[in-house]
Amino acid sequence: MTNKPRRISRRSVLAGLAGGASIMALPGGIRTAGASNPFKMGTFFSLSGPASLFGPTQTACNALAVDEINAAGGILGRTVQIVAGDGGAPPAEAAKTAVRMMLRDKVDVIVGSHDSAVRQAIVGALKGRIPYVYTPLYEGGECAPNTYVPADTPQQQVRPSINAMHDSFGTKKIYLIGNGYVWPQQTNALAKRYIAEFGGSVVGEEYAPLGPGNKFDDAVTRIKNANPDLVLITLVGGDNVNFNRTFAGFGLDKNIKRLSLLLEELTLQGIGPKNGNGLFSCMSYFSAVDTPANKAFKARYAKKFGEKAPPLSMIGVDAYSGTNCAASLINKAGSTDAKAVMAASEGLQYKTATGTGTMTNRHVAKDMFLAEAKGAEFKIIKSFGKIGHGEKCSV
């Protein structure tokens, strides 16, 4: 990642993919044998709506994973072919698209990176009839049949990071701020438990409405008065940017640490290099992760997309890992039969951008990292190794 933001729209990526698709549609002689009976993968990435800034990365990472899977023999020996849907559509429309994918396009598996409302709509539409892999970090608790969630769960994000902050900086008094919806609330509920475990205290908790852009001057003033050691931030998108800019603008960054749980490279770009002092994030992927696996991943990514590569970010790279997860899952099961896939999921090992993930209870134990914002980039402070997900879905 360079400091300079790249100007890529999802259009160019879509155009690139369309080119790829047309190559795949060449006359029979050129096609590989497997292409005659492709393995169809439905995708729901954020092509529109507020999360559309992640769309290009999601689409690109998915395309890279599909290339690699096909090079390695495809899924069940068949070439993978993408049927794209819009995860940024309203839930009802996404559900209709899912049904169409399932019944008309006869997709074999669906991979999605989008919000929880759309996930529920898709789960409701599929009713477990085809495997569905949901990739972005979320609040936990999705145990619908034939649904697999290689996402970061609150337990994976909160527990190690809050303890590490306590160990490194002695942060005991903690202020919670988030958007008023389910992910921040669930995450904070867990956080309170872990804070109590090491004898810390919650000195404030507040939620800002999701939807309109919020100003945070008054919240920052309250935080200043509460005088915490650490602010645990579960604000998302523009609110996360606005809050952190205001926080630094009021000069609170000098004395108070911040830990944001949905802070990846694209959001950090909005917060700006001068406002990231004492700002931490904990997720399963940062572009800065220094493992051989990630270096190789980044090299392959750069080779495929070159100059115009959409910037790598957790929400996006999860589509790479999720696509691999889906492929490994079905290859291991040997079919797309729901029972077989459910059974195969337990103990599944698959390739992620930074190493491997291990699936149990249809969630994934994975390597987690604590990173600190340094200018426009992250610096990995600590690798936690494999962290359990804490979910209890039956198989």
Partner 1 sequence: MAWLAANLAFITAILVVLPQIVGDFWAFTLALFLLYAVACLGLGLSWGQAGLLSLGQGFFLGFSAYTSGLILIGFSTSAWLFPLLGLSVVAPGLIAYLFGCMIFHGRTQNTAFFAIITLALILLAAQIATAWESVTGGYNGLRNIPGLPGFSELEDAYTLSAVALGLSMMFAAWIMQTPLGVLWRALSQDERRVAFLGFNHNQLKSVAFGLSGLFGGIAGTLYAPQNSLVTPDLFGFLLSTSFVVWVAIGGRNTLYGPVLGAIGIGLATNTLRESVSFWEVILAVIFIVAVLYFRKGLTGTAEPAVKRWFERNDRVRKPAPARHSAMTFDRIAIENLNLSVGNVGILEDLDLNIGSPGIYCLIGPNGAGKTTIFNAMTGELEAQSGTVSMLGTRGIKMDARTQTIAGLGRKFQVPSVFDQLTVGENLAIALWSGRSSRRDLLRLSLLDWESPVLTELERRFPFLTDRRQMVGSLSHGQRQVLDLAMVLCTEPRLILLDEPCAGLSLAETNEVISTVRWAVDRFQATAMIIEHDMAMVRELADHVFVVHNGSMLFEGSVAEVQSNAAVQAVYTGGTK
Partner 2 sequence: MDPVLIANGLNISFEIVTLALVAMGLAVTLGLLGVLNLAHGEFVMIGAFCAFFVQEQGLSYLWAFPLVVIVCIVIGWPVERTIIRALYSRPFDTILATWGLSLLLREIVEFFFGPGFNSVDQPVSGTVNIFGADYPLYQLLVMLIAVVLIGALVAWYVKSSTGRRIQALVDNPDLAKSVGIPTIALARNTFIFGLCLAGIAGVLLAPIVAVYPGMGIDHVLKSFFVLVVGGLGNVVGLVVGSGVIGGAESIVAAILDRTAGYTFVLIVALLFLWKKPGGLVSR
266 is an interface residue for partner 2 by CB under 8 A: yes
Q: Which is nearer to partner 2, 224 or 332 (CB)?
A: 224
2 is an interface residue for partner 2 by CB under 8 A: no
380 is an interface residue for partner 1 by CB under 8 A: no
Provide the 10 A C-beta neighbour count for residue 22.
9
By CB under 8 A, name the one of 117, 202, 226, 293 that touches partner 1.
117
Near partner 1 in 52-91, by CB under 8 A: 84-86, 89-91
Cβ density class 74-106: b for 16+ within 10 Å, e for less? bbbebbbbbbbbbbbbebeebbebbbebbeeee
Closest approach of partner 2 to the CB of residue 178, in Å: 11
251 is an interface residue for partner 2 by CB under 8 A: yes
**SS3 for 145-195, per residue?**
CCEEECCCCHHHHHHHHHHHHHHHHCCCEEEEEEECCHHHHHHHHHHHHHH
Spell out the residues 6+ positions from residue 152 whose beta carbon is closer than 8 angstroms to its own: 136, 137, 138, 283, 284, 314, 366, 368
On the CB side of 395, CA atoms within 13 Å amount to: 17
7 is an interface residue for partner 2 by CB under 8 A: yes
267 is an interface residue for partner 2 by CB under 8 A: yes
Closest approach of partner 2 to the CB of residue 351, in Å: 27
CA distance 239 to 252: 17
Amino acid at 245: R
Q: Which is nearer to partner 2, 16 or 50 (CB)?
A: 50
96 is an interface residue for partner 1 by CB under 8 A: yes
Q: Which is nearer to partner 2, 218 or 346 (CB)?
A: 218
By CB under 8 A, name the one of 141, 207, 277, 293 that touches partner 2.
207
273 binds, among partner 2, partner 1, none (CB under 5 to 8 A by kind): partner 2
28 binds, among partner 2, partner 1, none (CB under 5 to 8 A by kind): none
CA distance 281 to 299: 24
CA distance 175 to 16: 45
By CB under 8 A, name the one of 8, 35, 182, 380 that touches partner 1.
182
Four-point Cα dihedral 381, 391, 207, 261, nearest 10: 20
Q: Which is nearer to partner 1, 209 or 334 (CB)?
A: 209
11 is an interface residue for partner 2 by CB under 8 A: yes
Closest approach of partner 1 to the CB of residue 180, in Å: 6
Closest approach of partner 2 to the CB of residue 264, in Å: 11
Q: Which is nearer to partner 1, 25 or 103 (CB)?
A: 103
Tell me how long the chain is.
395
Q: What are phi and psi of 378, to 5 degrees?
A: -100, 150
* C-alpha distances in Å from residue 174, one per residue of 107, 225, 259, 265: 47, 13, 10, 24
Near partner 2 in 33-92, by CB under 8 A: 50, 52-53, 55-56
By CB under 8 A, name the one of 208, 232, 236, 309 that touches partner 2.
208
Closest approach of partner 1 to the CB of residue 93, in Å: 5
**SS3 for 319-384, per residue?**
HHHHHHHHHHHHHHHCCCCHHHHHHHHCCEEEECCCCEEEEECCEEEEEEEEEEEECCEEEEEEEE
Amino acid at 344: A
The residues binding partner 1 (CB under 8 A) are 11, 14-15, 47-48, 84-86, 89-93, 95-97, 99-100, 103-104, 116-117, 120-121, 124, 180-182, 209-212
Question: Which residues of this chain interact with partner 2, rule CB under 8 A?
Answer: 5-11, 50, 52-53, 55-56, 180, 206-209, 212-219, 221-222, 224-225, 237-238, 241-242, 245-246, 249-251, 266-267, 269-275, 311
